[in-house]
Amino acid sequence: MKNIIVIAAVFFMSTTVLSQELDLGIKLGSNFASLSDAQEGSSTRTGIQAGVFAGVKFNDKIGVNLDVLYSQQGADFDAGAFDLSYVNLPVIFKYYLVGGLHLQAGPQFGILVDDNIKDLYDEIVEAQSSDVSGIVGVGYELPFGLRFEGRYNFGFTEILEDSTIKNSVLTLCVGFSFL
């Protein structure tokens, strides 16, 4: 009897999952990064963002995406550069307006993989090892797998200990879905 219940549960769960639209692909884009509350003389740092995504569309209006992205962030200063590289894990909730046009929002969790803070401090300074951000954006998905996205990432976590400096990143990217 227990086996029949388990088999029935697996059958109904698998039909529910298979009825959803799965989405797997790659993306590449440009970051235009700055630091909030940074000192005067800072300018935007242009970097790359590249990675993979997986998602599911539950119905005509709602979907969820998980990305794994390498992201160059930071800022440039008159006295040197504030270079930060992260592996970011955004969890994006999508609301489809019409066709492939959708709004995006969600949290992002970043793991610092490299910090290169050149000539800005007299002592050795290291950035925090993780970063938590919020994301808002807009995207458009074409029927043959091509997609375009624009996102704004606003940091919640202070980059340096005992500071108010946070990441602020505008990203424009293109992606391709294999499914």
Instruction: Give the domain range for residue 76.
Output: 21-177
Specify if 168 maps to a domain.
yes
Distance CA 32, CA 119 (A): 22
CATH code, domain with 141 = 2.40.160.20
Is residue 149 one of the residues assigned to a domain? yes
The pLDDT of 18-25, averaged and rounded, is: 78
In a domain, 37, yes or no: yes
- Is 163 within a domain? yes
Reported as a single tens digit per residue, the pLDDT across 43-63 is 788 999 999 999 999 999 999
Is 16 part of a structural domain of the chain?
A: no
User: Exposed e or buried b for every residue in 86-117, given b needs 16+ CB within 10 A?
Assistant: bebebebebebeeeeebebebebebebeebeb
Q: Is residue 82 part of a domain?
A: yes
- Alpha carbon 26 to its chain's center: 13
Structural domain count of the chain: 1
| Distances, alpha carbon 32 to alpha carbons 45, 46, 66, 84, 95, in Å | 6, 5, 21, 13, 25
pLDDT tens for each residue of 4-21: 555 555 554 554 455 568
Does residue 46 belong to any structural domain of this protein?
yes
Q: Tens digit of pLDDT for each residue in 109-161?
A: 999 998 877 556 656 677 889 999 999 999 999 989 999 999 999 999 998 87
Domain contains 13: no
Question: pTM higher than 0.95, yes or no?
Answer: no
